[in-house]
Amino acid sequence: MTQADAALAAAGTSARDHLPGRGGADGDQAGASTREKILGVALDLFTDQGFDGTSMREIAERLGITKPSIYYHFASKEELLLALHMRVHELSKEALARLAGQAITLETWSSALTELLDQMAAHRQLFLMHERNQAALEKLHRKDHDDEHDDFQQRLQQALADPSLSLRDRVRMACSLGAVFGGLFMAGDAFGNVPSAELGSLVQDALRDLVTDRSV
């Protein structure tokens, strides 16, 4: 273990727990652990005080390491934000993959959105950070980021524009998507003290009300 990794281990792992786990070969574990802890602290600071209000020095001080130790893993603060942003896409894509290769109905839409809701509630801070740093995220321009973003938008638009669905159902689907994002994040700190599991369950109730077909 390097001196930098020893300092990171002493800093604790609470911040890292906000992030999805990452595996790897035994020889890469120390570097992966360092990277995860840097991302975890960046997530905490970007959420609490914003991307623009956070410096690489603060991240290093929180971890008890030097700035060069961070730059070994991330070339810039923007690269840190992009890495967190791409994880939002990864989690979202897993849920939307349910819609690929099958007929879109209110039932399949509800199933995909329920999975997305579960992911968002489980990684609430990651999505909250994303919502609070929209201005900084809009300044990120890199091909792989743009491709991921375009792919995500296209999947949603294709689902909502499917001519095999009635306009009524497509509007309900769009509103249910807004309910998920609005209930968890766009309400700001209105539900900040509500545990993620409880809030996710309540949003799920609202989602069910929107997509349940009562015409049957």
pLDDT at residue 95, as a whole number: 73
CA atoms of 179 and 183, how far apart (whole Å): 6
Q: Is the pLDDT of residue 117 over 70?
A: yes
Confidence of residue 215 (pLDDT cuts 50, 70, 90): low
pLDDT at residue 93, as a whole number: 77
Q: Is the pLDDT of residue 105 over 70?
A: yes
The single-letter code of the amino acid at 39 is: L
pLDDT at residue 6, as a whole number: 39
CA atoms of 207 and 3, how far apart (whole Å): 49
Confidence of residue 103 (pLDDT cuts 50, 70, 90): confident
Confidence of residue 177 (pLDDT cuts 50, 70, 90): confident
* Tens of pLDDT, residues 58-98: 999 999 999 999 999 999 999 999 999 988 888 877 777 77
Q: Is the pLDDT of residue 182 over 60?
A: yes
pLDDT at residue 65, as a whole number: 92
* Tens of pLDDT, residues 26-66: 445 555 688 999 999 999 999 999 999 999 999 999 999 99
* Tens of pLDDT, residues 125-174: 998 898 899 999 988 866 555 665 566 677 778 888 888 899 999 999 99
CA atoms of 86 and 44, how far apart (whole Å): 17
pLDDT at residue 180, as a whole number: 87
pLDDT at residue 28, as a whole number: 53
- The alpha-helical segments, DSSP class H, found in the chain are 3-11, 29-49, 56-63, 67-71, 77-96, 106-122, 124-132, 134-138, 143-160, 167-181, 196-211
pLDDT at residue 30, as a whole number: 57
